[in-house]
Amino acid sequence: MRVTEHLDRADGTLFSFEIIPPARGKTVREIIEIVEQVAPLNPPFIDVTSHMAEAVYEEQPDGTIRRRVRKKRPGSLSICGIIQNRFGLDTVAHLLCAGFTREETEDACIELAYLGIHNVLAVRGDQSNYRKVLGSGRTRNIHAEDLVAQLVDLRRARYLDEISGSEPIDFCIGVGGYPETHLESPNAKTDLMFLKRKVDAGADYIVTQMFFDNAVYFDFVERCRAAGITVPIIPGLKLLDDVRHLSSLPRHFHVTLPDALVDEVMAEPGRAAEIGLRWGRRQVEELMNAGAPCLHFYVMNDARRVVEMLRGLG
């Protein structure tokens, strides 16, 4: 089922989750355990992130430097297939512009269609130290807006090469939104303009970057509606569970932590997990009372604390 169909049919706030593939050399068992943790909560869908290749430089015994290119977290498409077909839960496969050609993206979309997966999240992806060299006849999407346009073409059975008797791939397309503005946008107005262009290109819904102040989300939704963005806007949430998150979350995700939360954790760093759980619960309750269509939790590779919190809500 499409994400938007889940939202349309819901009679209350839904809970969805986002996980990352295991590191290279690990087995899929880690993913199975995470899905087993959240499955009793009946999530409408589970997102699986995608990761581009990175360059690794290794010094050799003779003093030379060897450059190797590899993915640290492969297997996103197969993980989507395992979750959807083993657990009967819809999955959302993340598709990236960065590190992938349009031809590779089309191949991935065909594989997803074979697996019965109907939802994708189109994102540009963070830049890394590796930039794929385009071979002859290969092209790339630069922005998420371009990726959305390619996905919309597939809805119309428009492939990169003309294929006789081709069939459409009718994905539900999600895109990312940034309540606190993307780090590369000069200001909030420009950031909102870029978001509207993604929606106008054919995106069906928005899922936001994590935030820790609900007022930021409510303001973001208001600004989106004023700009003519009418698609569902799903808030993204993460629990703070370690004092180190006070520095790592702003550094890696470019989000702002409220003074009240920081002060409380700094006063009792040993109770950071308890404080983060209590803070997250207040966020969840307020968003549910405000009628948020779905709450999307960035659980990464451990969902136990989120499950504990949600079960505590009854």
Residues 47/92, Cβ–Cβ less than 8 Å? yes
Q: Reduced to 3 DSSP states, what percent helix, strand and coil does the chain have, rounded to the nearest 5?
A: 40, 20, 40
Q: Is residue 133 over pLDDT 70? A: no
- State the Cα–Cα distance between residues 217 and 213, nearest whole angstrom: 7
Structure tokens at 223: 């600004």
Residues in the chain: 314
List the beta strands (DSSP E) in 79-194. 90-96, 119-123, 172-177
In the CATH hierarchy, which top-level class contains the domain 3-312? alpha beta
pLDDT in tens, 67-89: 554 566 677 899 999 999 999 99
Residues 95/113, Cβ–Cβ less than 8 Å? no
Over the chain, what is the mean pLDDT?
Answer: 90
SS3 42: coil
Instruction: Compute the chain's Rg from CA coordinates.
Output: 20
pLDDT over 70 percentage in the chain: 89
Note the pTM of the prediction, 2 decimals: 0.90
Q: Is residue 51 over pLDDT 80? A: no
Structure tokens at 125: 């992806």
With a CB cutoff of 8 Å and minimum separation 6, the contacts of 187 are: 181
Residues 99/71, Cβ–Cβ less than 8 Å? no
What's the Cα-to-Cα distance from 201 to each of 8, 18, 79, 152, 229, rounded to whole Å? 22, 24, 28, 8, 12
pLDDT in tens, 16-50: 999 999 888 888 898 999 999 999 999 999 999 98
Domain boundaries, the chain: 3-312
Q: Which has the minimum average pLDDT: 51-60, 139-148, 178-187, 285-294? A: 51-60
